[in-house]
Amino acid sequence: MNKQNRIWLLSAILIVLCVGTINAQINIGGVVTDQLGLPIPGANILEKGTTNGATTDFDGKFQLAVASKKSSIEVSFMGFQTAVLQVGDKTTFTISLKEDVAALDEVVVVGYGSMKKSDLTGSVTSVKMDDIPSKPSNSIDGLLQGQVAGVQVITSSDDPGAGATVRIRGGSSLNGGNDPLVVVDGFPIGYAGDLKQISPQDIASMEVLKDASASAIYGSRGANGVIMITTKKGAKHTTEVTVSQQNTFSSFTSDLNLWRDPVLMAELSNESRINGGFVPLYIGTEDANGVYYPSLGELKDGSWSYNTKWDDVVFRSPVSNNTNLAIRSQTDKTQFSLSTTHFTQEGVYIEDDYKKLNINLNVIHKLYDGKVSVGGNVIYSKGDRTNNSDLAYWRNPIFPVYENNDPTQDYFLAGSQDYSHPIALVENRTNTNEFKDFIGSAFVDIQLLPSLKLKTQLNYKTGQSITDYYNPKIYTEDGTFNNGSGGINNWDSEETVAETFLTYNKMFNEKHKFTAMGGFSYQYYEARSSDLKAYDFLNESLGNGNLAAGNPEKQTVANAYTETVMYSGLGRFNYVYDDKYMATFTMRADGSSKFGDNNKWAYFPSGALGWKMHQEDFIKDLDVFNELKLRASFGISGNQGISPYLINSRYGQDQYYVNGGWQTAIGPGYVVGWDSQTGKKTWGGIPNPDLKWETTRQFNIGGDFAFFDRKLKVTLDYYNKYTTDLLRERLLSPSSSYDKMWVNDGEIENQGIELTINGTIFKNEDWSFGGSLMFSKNKNEVVSLGNELSSGLTTDALTGIKYEFSGSTVEAFRAIPNILAVGQPINVFYGYRVDGIVQSEAEGLAAGLTGDLAQPGEFKYVDLNEDGVIDEDDRSIIGDPNPDFIASLNLQASYKNFDISMFFNGSFGQDIFNTKSFGEAGNMPLRWTQDNPTNSYPSLRDGRTNYMSDWYIEEGSFVRLQNLSIGYNLNDIDLPWLKRGRIFVNGTNLFTITDFKGYDPEIGTDGIYWGGYPKLRNWTLGVEFTF
């Protein structure tokens, strides 16, 4: 219930109390219900044309004395269409209110307040959880996928407990992070991607603040957009107990592409090694590491008969379980909600598990006739992860699991340096993580004056994580090298956010509606970590249980501490004239300990205008639009994803061996990383007193349209996001003794279009059919990477484009595939071009290739600059991992109590660098040979220097049936103890249409495909009962 309504209600009650009993001529009474017949408490009954009225009680009943039979009564309740009835002869009424399909008065949560959706001037999308039922997800990120235009959610990992990548309107930062801020019930608890503390079952709605007018109120944390989460509170005037249970069964979407025929594998391996000038492996002798490889003959005649399906050894069909029990209750004064969620998830690898328990308690209590409300929220979350997600399903099939394939014998190890035996690792090593989180918040909301409200909210969050590991003396590399190694990593963080703001709400002359809000915010964050390691264990039976048992001379400890403080002032001013013209202005000032002394305070203003054209007579006369609203906004928001302390000088620490022992050495110069080319340390530690946030200016223009009694709704937005002062490292002259320093230098632009179409295609008492289509196109461009010299940019020989490499080296190519290039989208691919395969040495030489590279069967690299030689100058931009557009389609249908929904998700036009295009079981047999002079694949040759080339680039467009859900609602079941029930089946990742040759095209934003295993398909059975 928003403020205006609350005030109105309050006054209505007062009026009723004072006036209602004076002229009692006809007494009427009755009950007000919703369409399901459930009573509506607190509905207003007003004798039309008078101030005489009443409200319904807890059971929806009312009594009212009206003037005469000719009187009309008006029955209204928020969210329902107002009913008007002539009193006539009746004295008892059963009034069934229809829900307001127009929902114009839907309230949406915005930063530091809420407002009527119709009064919004910014680009805000609201997702009500009731609208996306039975979508199983263990994190809030998954729920958002495909629900909001302009929001891209990538779930590239099927690891248990894995997070997702969430981008709102593209990435606008290189080093400051691109994850949107997440605010839960007013508490900015962190950034999207891995928010495990909030159970999806506890969420009532999510609002995505996309443009600057909406997000600038979050200032230096708003540039990536903001996701506002509202959790479920008490049920409406009743007590409800809800139990839900979901079980998910998963399996691979396709077969694994592994060697099944050891003879073929061995033949091709030998061929490759011989071509490379190496001694072949499969010749029936031991190799340099003492591993015996059988000869082809032994493999063929079955005298070496092992053919292990390692994927069967390593993988399983995982099952997840999600149980939620919630009690929600509301009385006139108090509402509370207690919800517990227990979630267990099996990984597809054996012994790879995730477990989580969330408890969420929420209480709100009203005092002094509702003028004061106090409330609190406590979330406790704990869980653990046993990590075995690195097991070698790709292991050579000629190796048995156990000696002689006999499970009673020892593991079969391939030589003394075999560190990939999956069963040995699972049974002997430790790698677990435990986490605990506590989130608490308390608020007081005081109605100081009818038009003035004060809210203070204090939020606290703490999290702990402990990682335990032990690598035994055999089976692991680290353990072998160190004679056993174990350790414990501890991490602990604390965050306090205290906010107070005043909201003033007033309507003047029935036409001028003002809302003003102003307040302060204080935020304190601290994180500590410690890292204990020990090596060289006498006895391994305790694992890492007693690190002191390791060799005392080899124990190491490390710890770290960070602390940040932020003060903010903020304000918003809304004005609506005549319910037609709207203006919003916001302002936030952030002062952060992370900012340099010369830039301590950041200011983030925004402004927006809106015009409800459908309120104008000339639009009404057209009789086309139910809604026609135009919006325009401009604002500035920031990204303060800077590590703390970059504004401080920072000394380095090392040790120097003096007088027979190590002594601590400390001084200027601190290791900030390792150079990707030389592998040597890079030095920093010089402070930058000018360091500040990244600044994003965003312009947004859009419109909301509704037609055919709001059965068709369209929202269209265009935005332009321009980010300056990109946080980057500049190079310093080597004679300064420093290599790098953090500065603000560089610019990125994102612009795009978002379109949402919602339609109710057909609806009657039994049937309904509708859907929504979302389309987002974002164009990203690196406008500037700062000063060419101080940024150390390289010039592309052919085009003169300035660029730098981004990311890390892919070993197989000894190249970094992605670059940041001025004038190009983020992370385009850079490399050589390939024009088929060299068929003869003459052809190779003619193409400018030399030596091994000119031989038949090699890649025919293109001499792009036509200088007669293939060298680094022949590289160019060869692909773009950013999609041209993303789209999703939701279809929903229901018949009586059955419903079905389908959700298609698609991404179009992105390129993928497929590192597994060659060298895998599936494609090696297709190699070039003298007998198979193909132009599609090169020959097999061990030791070939692979260059990063467009031969490895594939189009990654896909359309996926992400979700199919069939449910049955038990509404009419005549069980007195059961209020509602629902049974559903849900399938995710059911099929994918794509030309991509790897397992799945949904990968990280850098577009590099690393192989791995197929994506999982999940079937979930769920039941939910409310008592």
Partner 1 sequence: MGLTLVLGFVSCESLDVEPKGFYSDENFYKTIEDAEASMLYAYDGLTQVSYAPVTYYLTELASDNCIVKPDEGADAQAFVNWEVTSQNQLLTQYYRSCYIAINRANAVIENVEGRGFNENDENRLLGEALFLRAYNHFNAVKAFGLAPLQTSLIDKLDETTASLPADMQVVYAFLISDLERAINYLEVNRVVGRVDKIAAQALLSKVYLFAASAKESGVPKYETILESVENLYAKAAQYSGDVLFNQGEYSHDLNLQNIYNVEMPNGPEHIFILSMDSSGTAEGDYSKLSKYFIPWIGGATVYLKNIDDSFSPTHDGWSVFQTTDDLFTAYNTDDLRRNNLFVSEVFDETGASLGTTGDGVVAYPFTRKYIDPNFEGDKTSTRPYLLRYSDIQLVYAEAAANAEGLVQYNNIRNRAGVSELADLSGLSKEEFRQLVIEERQRELAYEGDRLWDLRRTNTVQAKVTQAAGLSPEAVAFYPIPQREIDLNPNIN
Burial class (CB in 10 A: 0-12, 13-18, 19+), 25: exposed
Residue pair 907/958 in contact (Cβ under 8 Å)? The answer is yes
Decide whether 49 or 668 has the Cβ nearer to partner 1: 668
Distance separating alpha carbons of residues 584 and 631, to the nearest angstrom: 11
Cβ-count burial 100-129 (b if 16+ within 10 Å, e if not): beeebbbbbbbbbbbbbbbbbbbbbbbbeb
User: Where are the alpha helices (H) located in 532-634, listed in sequence order?
Assistant: 617-620
Smallest gap from Cβ 485 to partner 1, in A, equals 13
Smallest gap from Cβ 269 to partner 1, in A, equals 23
Decide whether 501 or 705 has the Cβ nearer to partner 1: 501
Smallest gap from Cβ 938 to partner 1, in A, equals 23
Decide whether 669 or 1014 has the Cβ nearer to partner 1: 669
Distance separating alpha carbons of residues 556 and 545, to the nearest angstrom: 16
Q: How many CB atoms lie within 10 A of CB 418?
A: 21
Smallest gap from Cβ 283 to partner 1, in A, equals 20
Q: What is the DSSP letter of 436?
A: E
Smallest gap from Cβ 657 to partner 1, in A, equals 4
Decide whether 250 or 521 has the Cβ nearer to partner 1: 521
Decide whether 620 or 814 has the Cβ nearer to partner 1: 814
DSSP bridge pairs for 45: 54, 75
SS3 label, residue 353: strand
Distance separating alpha carbons of residues 397 and 312, to the nearest angstrom: 11
DSSP bridge pairs for 61: 31
Decide whether 307 or 500 has the Cβ nearer to partner 1: 500
Decide whether 605 or 652 has the Cβ nearer to partner 1: 652
Distance separating alpha carbons of residues 909 and 111, to the nearest angstrom: 35
Q: Which residues contact 707 (CB under 8 A, 6 or more apart)?
A: 624, 625, 626, 713, 714
Smallest gap from Cβ 847 to partner 1, in A, equals 24
Smallest gap from Cβ 111 to partner 1, in A, equals 17
Residue pair 625/676 in contact (Cβ under 8 Å)? The answer is no
Residue pair 183/195 in contact (Cβ under 8 Å)? The answer is no
User: Where are the alpha helices (H) located in 149-260, listed in sequence order?
Assistant: 212-215
Decide whether 692 or 960 has the Cβ nearer to partner 1: 692
Burial class (CB in 10 A: 0-12, 13-18, 19+), 774: buried
Decide whether 648 or 936 has the Cβ nearer to partner 1: 648
Decide whether 400 or 569 has the Cβ nearer to partner 1: 569
Residue pair 364/375 in contact (Cβ under 8 Å)? The answer is yes
Smallest gap from Cβ 730 to partner 1, in A, equals 9
Sheet with 44-47: list strands edge to edge. Answer: 53-55, 44-47, 72-76, 83-86
Residue pair 377/364 in contact (Cβ under 8 Å)? The answer is no
Sheet with 203-209: list strands edge to edge. Answer: 124-128, 203-209, 226-231, 181-184, 187-191
Decide whether 454 or 507 has the Cβ nearer to partner 1: 454
Q: Which of 897, 891, 890 is nearest to 982 (CA)?
A: 897
Chain CA centroid to CA 850, Å: 48
DSSP bridge pairs for 991: 961
Residue pair 997/1014 in contact (Cβ under 8 Å)? The answer is no
Smallest gap from Cβ 67 to partner 1, in A, equals 49
Smallest gap from Cβ 457 to partner 1, in A, equals 8
Residue 597 in tokens = 């002394």
- The helix or strand, by DSSP H or E, that contains position 844, with its residue range, turns out to be helix 841-846
Smallest gap from Cβ 473 to partner 1, in A, equals 15
Smallest gap from Cβ 875 to partner 1, in A, equals 18
Distance separating alpha carbons of residues 875 and 861, to the nearest angstrom: 10
Residue pair 573/609 in contact (Cβ under 8 Å)? The answer is no
Smallest gap from Cβ 645 to partner 1, in A, equals 6
Classify 25 in phi/psi space as left (phi over 0), alpha (psi -120 to 50) or beta.
alpha
Distance separating alpha carbons of residues 294 and 305, to the nearest angstrom: 10
Smallest gap from Cβ 366 to partner 1, in A, equals 17
Decide whether 284 or 652 has the Cβ nearer to partner 1: 652
Decide whether 675 or 841 has the Cβ nearer to partner 1: 675
Smallest gap from Cβ 586 to partner 1, in A, equals 17
Smallest gap from Cβ 74 to partner 1, in A, equals 41
* Residue matched to tokens 């038009």: 451
Distance separating alpha carbons of residues 927 and 921, to the nearest angstrom: 11
Cβ-count burial 366-381 (b if 16+ within 10 Å, e if not): beeeebebebbbbbbb
Burial class (CB in 10 A: 0-12, 13-18, 19+), 21: exposed
Q: Which of 512, 521, 439, 449 is nearest to 111 (CA)?
A: 521
Decide whether 538 or 658 has the Cβ nearer to partner 1: 658
Smallest gap from Cβ 797 to partner 1, in A, equals 15
Decide whether 476 or 715 has the Cβ nearer to partner 1: 476
Decide whether 681 or 779 has the Cβ nearer to partner 1: 681
Q: Which residue type occupies 352?
A: D
Smallest gap from Cβ 871 to partner 1, in A, equals 13
